[in-house]
């Protein structure tokens, strides 16, 4: 018996060590790609210029010198979108992982339950009709997208309460709202002028162009505020993966976990896509890849999904900026080209059962 316990402990340590190494590897990859992304682009800057520009801004007492052009390129054009790519990838990925865990469906994401469609409808109202509750100009679009994304979550909850807050009810309500908001957005596109239609379509491509530091601060604050609360439910999500009956007998309030997770994931998603537009596939691809590699333990799945989502989106945005420079391809398009084939490859070549 003692020998069996020692073997079990040894296996547990090995599995945990592998997951930690995976997290560290992803973090190293993010740092490496971020440095490459700062260096390369349509404007040619040397490694020394990039380094001096960063040091001059962050550590002015060191006496490093930087030109105004290099400072503008690095600090106003490249770094904000790099940081936003990391935040957006991490936030969308962890939202997808949390939704898949609470609803026990590997196809669920912020896109499939209508959050993205609702945000697109809110942005379209601002761009086509010039209507909104808060803000003006650019911020009217941002606030409309955020508020309608949050509204979708409350509508899903309201519909689900009529029939009981189960995974199936939440998914069906979300799909129905997704089609509703998509239809409303299509109607606005149909009646829009050419300029308004172009603005709506460009927003729906999903892009990090024009990202400002204040956008990064707001999206980052929402993400960092909600992430610890999602992590708090890691054990509950693990129990729910075994079935609601087992989770309930273990003391898990499945209804509360589903509603809180839905609200937190919605806040994260809405707080990101209101600045970036639609980047729909991260919430499915990143959690799937992580689950295939390290398993379904949400204590590791959630943070690993954050890291991998950030890495994948950062790679996609860097490719979009540089592959046909100076033309910039929206990151939403690039990520679809990269993510879909890779995702299909993993699904077709790995084991079929990996949910638990």
pLDDT of 353 > 50? The answer is no
pLDDT of 1 > 60? The answer is no
pLDDT score at 355: 46
Against a cut of 0.75, is the pTM above it?
A: yes
The dihedral built from the CA positions of residue 164, 166, 172 and 177, taken in this order, carries a sign that is positive
pLDDT of 219 > 70? The answer is yes
Query: Does some domain include residue 356?
Result: no
% of the chain with per-residue pLDDT over 90: 32
Alpha helices in the chain (DSSP H): 2-39, 47-58, 68-71, 79-103, 115-124, 138-163, 167-191, 194-205, 213-231, 234-240, 244-249, 254-276, 282-294, 298-322, 331-349
From residue 352, alpha-carbon distances to 64, 243, 265 in Å are 55, 19, 27
Alpha carbons 72 and 213: distance in angstroms, whole number:
13
Helix 79-103 to helix 282-294 angle, to the nearest 10 degrees?
70
**pLDDT tens track for 292-338:** 888 888 889 999 999 999 999 999 999 988 887 778 888 888 888 87
* Residue 349 banded pLDDT, cuts 50, 70, 90: low
Report the domain count for the chain.
1
* Range in 84-93, 211-220, 319-328 the model is least confident about: 319-328
Query: Does some domain include residue 336?
Result: yes
- Sorted by sequence, the CB contacts under 8 Å of residue 277 that are 6+ apart come out as 123, 202, 203, 204, 205, 206, 207, 330, 332
pLDDT score at 347: 63
Compute the average pLDDT of residues 60-84: 83
Compute the average pLDDT of residues 281-297: 87
pLDDT of 3 > 50? The answer is no
The DSSP bridge partners found for residue 92 are none
pLDDT of 354 > 70? The answer is no
pLDDT score at 220: 94
The DSSP bridge partners found for residue 324 are 327
Instruction: Identify the residue with better confidence: 190 or 105.
Output: 190
Task: Provide the residue range defining the domain that includes 170.
Answer: 2-349
Cβ-defined contacts of 214-217 (< 8 Å, 24+): 215/80, 215/84, 215/275, 216/80, 216/83, 216/84, 216/87
Alpha carbons 76 and 89: distance in angstroms, whole number:
20
Query: Does some domain include residue 173?
Result: yes
Alpha carbons 338 and 285: distance in angstroms, whole number:
10
pLDDT score at 226: 93
Helix 331-349 to helix 298-322 angle, to the nearest 10 degrees?
130
From residue 327, alpha-carbon distances to 5, 37, 41, 73, 229 in Å are 60, 16, 10, 16, 40
Query: Does some domain include residue 126?
Result: yes
Q: What is the mean pLDDT of the chain?
A: 84
**pLDDT tens track for 233-266:** 989 888 888 887 888 888 888 888 888 988 999 9
CATH of the domain at 42: 1.10.3470.10
Query: Does some domain include residue 355?
Result: no
Compute the average pLDDT of residues 196-225: 90
């Amino acid at each position: 018996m003692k020998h069996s316990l020692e073997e079990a402990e040894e296996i547990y340590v090995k599995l945990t060590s592998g997951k930690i190494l995976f997290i560290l590897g992803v973090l190293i990859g993010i740092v490496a790609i971020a440095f490459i992304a700062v260096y390369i682009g349509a404007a040619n800057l040397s490694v020394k210029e990039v380094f001096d520009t960063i040091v001059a801004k962050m550590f002015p007492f060191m006496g490093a010198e930087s030109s105004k052009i290099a400072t503008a390129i690095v600090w106003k054009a490249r770094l904000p979108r790099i940081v936003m790519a990391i935040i957006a990838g991490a936030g969308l990925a962890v939202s997808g992982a949390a939704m898949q865990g609470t609803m026990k469906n590997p196809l669920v994401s912020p896109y499939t339950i209508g959050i993205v469609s609702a945000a697109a409808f809110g942005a379209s109202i601002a761009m086509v009709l010039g209507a909104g509750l808060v803000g003006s100009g650019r911020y009217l679009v941002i606030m409309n997208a955020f508020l309608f994304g949050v509204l979708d979550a409350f509508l899903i909850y309201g519909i689900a309460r009529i029939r009981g807050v189960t995974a199936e009810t939440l998914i069906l309500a979300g799909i129905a709202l997704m089609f509703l908001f998509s239809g409303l957005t299509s109607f606005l596109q149909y009646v829009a002028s050419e300029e308004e239609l172009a603005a709506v379509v460009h927003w729906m491509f999903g892009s990090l162009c024009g990202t400002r530091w204040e956008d990064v601060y707001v999206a980052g604050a929402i993400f960092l505020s909600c992430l610890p609360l999602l992590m708090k439910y890691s054990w509950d999500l693990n129990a729910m993966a075994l079935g609601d009956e087992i989770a309930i007998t273990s003391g898990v309030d499945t209804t509360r976990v589903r509603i809180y997770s839905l609200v937190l994931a919605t806040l994260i998603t809405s707080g990101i896509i209101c600045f970036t537009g639609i980047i729909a596939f991260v919430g499915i691809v990143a959690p799937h890849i992580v689950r295939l590699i390290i398993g379904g333990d949400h204590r590791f799945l959630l943070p690993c999904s954050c890291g991998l989502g950030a890495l994948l989106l950062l790679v996609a945005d860097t490719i979009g900026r540089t592959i046909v420079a100076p033309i910039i391809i929206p990151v939403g398009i690039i990520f679809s080209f990269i993510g879909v084939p890779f995702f299909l490859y993993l699904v077709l070549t790995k084991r079929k059962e990996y949910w638990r």
